[in-house]
Homo-oligomer: A and B are copies of this chain.
Amino acid sequence: MQETRLNTARIRAARRLIDPVFLDTPLYRCEALEPVLGCAVSIKLETANPVRSFKGRGTEVVANLLADNVGSVGSVGSVGSAGSAGNAETANNAAKGPQSVVCASAGNLGQALAWSGRGRGLDVTVVASRFATAAKLDRIRALDATLELVDGDHEMARERAAAIARHDGMRLVEDSLDIETCEGAATIGLELVDTAPSFDTVLIALGGGALATGVGHVMKALAPEVEVVCVQPQGAPAMTLSWHSRRIVTTDSTDTIADGVAGRYPIPAVLDDLLVVADDAVLVQEASIITGMRMLLEHAGLVVEPSAALGIAAILEDRGRFAGRHVVTIVCGGNVDMDAYHRWVGR
């Protein structure tokens, strides 16, 4: 395959840095969904862990490197290889003063970084939109992180986090750009490949691209026969439009309940990787996302956030394409405001 920024050996090494609570997540057929969807459906469940999303895989890698490199300052991507020893040395950090790190987040990355950082004595600051999901912000606060809200969307939070990093000399963690966030997500791909029986297609929520490029890289490297399909909401289509036009396309706004994937400014290096590993990128309507959430509740007993229903939404909108195939959908997060959730699913 054509090269990407990712490397399968580094992804395998990253696995060893991740708390096992985030690894080897459930992967199982959900036959109750299949009569409606018309294809075999397996679920890769990333919500049954302390932060209720897959983001812990990446933040564990990031935080391990930071805890190992408390003396230097720079971007996370440069601080060391993913294969370096992964023992968090809290006592060592304390002696040098706590390492400080900042990220922008729609909520799940921030929660995960707060969790990973807390266990390693890192000072974590999260910048988020004040319109972000309240349940996510509450958990970030509960995990002892500093939370700063901006009066704008996720792209404004990204700008603010970068400014804080520059001004205060903190490390900036940039989702999807920092390779460790992609490598952490990519460990899901290793688990998919290692588990029989094989499947035909993997459906991946597409936001910044860490999940899609990470899992996609592993698929193309180790199971190239599996179709990699990325799914994004029509209301936040920047990366999908970019993939189809093979150049960066930005949008002026987003309009989707899928808060976890609602970016406007795709990162060029991530698009380059996505062009290598994705077989397709599709857009789905809000109504399909909501139907997908409702189906996962009623037929699978899963409470998921909108981004985690994108795969089911893609099947609903193109049943013919997937008919008779075996599809894996990554249920990537379950952090929702319960009032909004019940409004969406109609209960």
Against B, the Cβ 8 Å flags (1 = close, 0 = not) of A34-53 are 00000000010101111010
Of the residues B25, B50, B143, B334, contact of A30 by C-beta under 8 Å:
B50
Against B, the Cβ 8 Å flags (1 = close, 0 = not) of A330-347 are 000011101000100001
Q: Which of A91-99, A147-155, A176-184, A294-302 lies at the interface with chain B?
A: A294-302
**Within 8 Å of chain B (Cβ to Cβ): is A163?**
no
Of the residues B21, B32, B301, contact of A142 by C-beta under 8 Å:
B32
> How many subunits of this chain does the assembly comprise?
2
Give A139's nearest chain B residue, CB to CB: B32
Residues of chain B with a CB closer than 8 A to A25's CB: 26
**Within 8 Å of chain B (Cβ to Cβ): is A249?**
no
**Within 8 Å of chain B (Cβ to Cβ): is A27?**
yes
Residues of chain B with a CB closer than 8 A to A30's CB: 50
Q: Is the CB of A29 within 8 A of B50?
A: yes
A303 to B50, CA, bound (A): 17
A335 to B32, CA, bound (A): 12
Q: Is the CB of A48 within 8 A of B26?
A: yes
Residues of chain B with a CB closer than 8 A to A29's CB: 50
Q: A298-B338, A303-B302 are in contact. Are A49 and B28 (CB under 8 A)?
A: yes
A38 to B47, CA, bound (A): 24
**Within 8 Å of chain B (Cβ to Cβ): is A159?**
no
Report the minimum CB–CB distance from A307 to chain B (whole Å).
14
> Which residues of A from 159 to 216 have beta carbons under 8 Å from B?
none
Report the minimum CB–CB distance from A7 to chain B (whole Å).
28
Against B, the Cβ 8 Å flags (1 = close, 0 = not) of A299-336 are 00111000000000000000000000000000000111
Q: A301-B334, A303-B302 are in contact. Are A24 and B24 (CB under 8 A)?
A: yes
Give A135's nearest chain B residue, CB to CB: B32
Report the minimum CB–CB distance from A35 to chain B (whole Å).
8
Residues of chain B with a CB closer than 8 A to A24's CB: 24
Q: Is the CB of A48 within 8 A of B28?
A: yes
Q: Is the CB of B342 within 8 A of A347?
A: yes
**Within 8 Å of chain B (Cβ to Cβ): is A279?**
no
